[in-house]
Chain A
Amino acid sequence: GQQLNQSPQSMFIQEGEDVSMNCTSSSIFNTWLWYKQDPGEGPVLLIALYKAGELTSNGRLTAQFGITRKDSFLNISASIPSDVGIYFCAGQLHYGGATNKLIFGTGTLLAVQP
């Protein structure tokens, strides 16, 4: 099955630093999503992007839908310890009857040292 290339695989940073991660695909998506997974929990939606070039913020998080529709990035500013977790990008395909199908990235593990 198709997967998205997500980088970096892991990041170990100091509290207060900014973080950037990105996702690339060989295919075009109609929607890009960013999820966060806390330890022992399921993924939770952070940001949804619907149009090429769109830049959306959610608090300290900012994400962009790439112009080519084949990539997206997520920035976290002024990181805090509770930002720790695994961040996943996901692309949504619209085809046939499976309009809710998601293709997930491989994940970025973020560790924040106080």
Chain B
Amino acid sequence: EAQVTQNPRYLITVTGKKLTVTCSQNMNHEYMSWYRQDPGLGLRQIYYSMNVEVTDKGDVPEGYKVSRKEKRNFPLILESPSPNQTSLYFCASSYGRTSGSFYNEQFFGPGTRLTVL
């Protein structure tokens, strides 16, 4: 089954304790992205990756790191989490750039609910 998986689904941690949220896709997609979802703010992009070893900042990258060593995996790293990073996080993937104007559908994972105390 084609899917995007995230782990863990739920995580409660304390301020300053490094954590990693994993994301994996089995669709051979070039593009992967991380979003955070907060009430009243919709989804905001944290980081994205156009392909292996190619990553770039989204709209809210502060406090996060990512890496893209393999095509299928795109982990999100919080080196020193803070309470304002309490949020619902989504990983998404899609095929990369096309020459046409059609939208490359982004497929979303099930989400990771993170609470930082």
Question: A residues touching B (Cβ–Cβ < 8 Å)?
Answer: 1-4, 6, 9, 30-31, 33, 40-45, 48, 50, 88, 90, 92, 94, 97-102, 104-107
- Chain A nearest CB from B108 CB (Å) reads 3
- CB of A3 within 8 A of CB of B41, answer yes
- CB of B40 within 8 A of CB of A100, answer no
Question: B residues touching A (Cβ–Cβ < 8 Å)?
Answer: 4, 31, 33, 35, 40-45, 48, 50, 56, 58-60, 90, 92, 94, 96-98, 101-106, 108-111
* Residues of B contacting A50 in the complex (Cβ-Cβ under 8 angstroms): 101-103
Interchain Cβ contacts within 8 Å, total number:
76
| Contact A31:B44 (CB < 8 A) given known A1-B60, A41-B110, A43-B90 | no
* Residues of B contacting A6 in the complex (Cβ-Cβ under 8 angstroms): 42
- Chain B nearest CB from A43 CB (Å) reads 5
- CB of B58 within 8 A of CB of A100, answer no
- Chain A nearest CB from B47 CB (Å) reads 11
